[in-house]
Structure 1
């Protein structure tokens, strides 16, 4: 009997310890979520004046940095949609394939979920039509780090990218604002080694010599737009951000009309920034994307999703 009591007591102690660990873990996760939400809302308060008046003519704010072997761009913006609408849309991997494939250089996007782990594959290529087999695949692990009634945090991480690039990381944070609006933070960063650096340098010295980003540099009266790799990542980040805006803008359209409306809407939004984002005429973009959509659907069908 004494041995039985000792066993029972040990089991109860183990169970109590387990519950403490579980509760501590949940509390830690909750603290992380609330701290992320607090930090995001604090950022909104800090840049509100810049969101209200800026070079974009829209509630958008952009920051970028460049190191010896990496580039990072952070975009902040206000979407005039309820947080619940934004959260439901952005935490879906299928939605992300609809979003990213609007980008002029994304030839296809497919997703699959195995053992509760989701992977997106983006096929990136030239501004003209290309089948996915001729494009460069970038595999991204898709994860929702936090999702609750007032806050959403997502990450898309790829260890290896095209042309020797690595550590591709897309981050999304969203928080609810008053007035049925949502504040969103979209970040994009990647690293590049020696070979990638040489290829990038050659490109921007030749074909890409006139391409610029959005950040203005230089002294007053002699300011120019940032160029090179930092400018390129700013352009790509803006294209993805406008693709999210497009996706939300077209959610209420009949399902059979959404794809066509998204193509037109995305192109029209990017056309507001011709110095940075104009690449091809609208008719060519629409035609290319319709061809690429068929290729994407065929690839996705093979995934069984």
Structure 2
């Protein structure tokens, strides 16, 4: 299997790996929504989303809070189903395959992660996530995916999603993430930030230049903000597509996510729509899988 230095590893970091904070209760999450109302209204993401993340290359962790324009019933029912997590993950450029498997009574997400560009599936990395539904109540959802091991010396990936209703039409979500970086991953990350990732930026304005134009954060903070926005838009695109007839949902998800990312082209643009759709439609075909996964687990 080909080994290459991330952007994918860094981008996956800002999505993946969960658990900077443990699951709360509905009351605690509602209280956080109240405390963050001003920050949500003034978000640099140009929508109600707040990202709190460190810039560590050794133990990245962070929390994402966002208001979704979808009722809690839709959010709660969707993310109780592991297959829907795959639907969200597959919108990302660097996620090449995702399927749900069950072994020993435990539901798992078998995920292949690779480059943002087109590449053979056998050159991607396999990461197996355990799925756990921690709470599914009338006013509170908590679900988690966790992987003990990842590629390039990474470990202890966790991603927790919590949600509560805001009103009849909106939900408030909290995604917490964390993971551990080994030496090889830290070196690869630093190399990326010094080369191809050097000029990439996030959404927070660090300062104004002499002409009064915004200068955005870069480095690991920029990586975290870009990835947070991509996954927030993926959740939103998935939920938007659920109102379409079943046979139209995949295409609507793909086009919806891509169109939303293009609103932030300075930070998120990577390829043209035609290339994105061609790549994703191929990856979603049953024939794409081939012998990548060992049927024995």
- TM-score bucket (shorter structure): 0.7 to 0.9
Give the corresponding residue for 1:6: none
Deviation at 1:298, TM superposition (A): 4.2
Structure 1 residues 212 and 301, CA, compared in 2 at 3 Å: closer, same or farther?
A: same
Conserved? CA contact 1:106–1:122, under 8 Å: yes
Tell me the distance in 1 between the aligned counterparts of 2:119 and 2:287: 11
Per the normalisation by structure 2, the TM-score is: 0.83
- Write out per-residue CA displacement over residues 57-108 of structure 1, whole angstroms, 9 at most, x where no aligned residue: 2222222113461112322111122211111101111111111000111111
Report the RMSD for the aligned CA atoms in angstroms.
2.5
Question: Is 1:205 matched with 2:233?
Answer: no
- State the secondary structure of the residue aligned to 1:110: strand
Tell me the distance in 2 between the aligned counterparts of 1:256 and 1:301: 27
Tell me the distance in 2 between the aligned counterparts of 1:70 and 1:40: 25
Deviation at 1:276, TM superposition (A): 1.5
Aligned partner of 2:245 among 254, 271, 280: 254
Per the normalisation by structure 1, the TM-score is: 0.81
Aligned partner of 1:92 among 66, 75, 81: 81
Structure 1 residues 57 and 67, CA, compared in 2 at 3 Å: closer, same or farther?
A: closer
Aligned partner of 1:266 among 235, 257, 265: 257
- Write out per-residue CA displacement over residues 152-198 of structure 1, whole angstroms, 9 at most, x where no aligned residue: 01111112222222221111000112233211111222221222111
Give the corresponding residue for 1:239: 230
Number of matched residues?
A: 272
- State the secondary structure of the residue aligned to 2:276: helix
Give the corresponding residue for 1:102: 91
Query: For structure 1, which segment, 79-88 or 220-229, has the greater mean C-alpha deviation from structure 2 after superposition?
Result: 220-229
- State the secondary structure of the residue aligned to 2:204: strand
Give the corresponding residue for 1:13: none
Tell me the distance in 1 between the aligned counterparts of 2:282 and 2:197: 26
Give the corresponding residue for 1:193: 182
Query: For structure 1, which segment, 150-159 or 44-53, has the greater mean C-alpha deviation from structure 2 after superposition?
Result: 44-53
Tell me the distance in 1 between the aligned counterparts of 2:58 and 2:252: 39
Gaps of 5+ in 1: 1-31
Give the corresponding residue for 1:176: 165
Aligned partner of 2:266 among 250, 264, 275: 275
- State the secondary structure of the residue aligned to 1:280: coil
Query: For structure 1, which segment, 210-219 or 137-146, has the greater mean C-alpha deviation from structure 2 after superposition?
Result: 210-219
Q: How does 1:77-156 map to 2 (within 5 A)?
A: 77-156=66-145
Conserved? CA contact 1:186–1:241, under 8 Å: no
Conserved? CA contact 2:254–2:277, under 8 Å: yes
Aligned partner of 1:73 among 29, 48, 62: 62
Conserved? CA contact 1:166–1:191, under 8 Å: yes
Deviation at 1:303, TM superposition (A): 6.4
Give the corresponding residue for 1:28: none
Tell me the distance in 2 between the aligned counterparts of 1:123 and 1:154: 21
Gaps of 5+ in 2: 1-21
Tell me the distance in 2 between the aligned counterparts of 1:250 and 1:186: 21
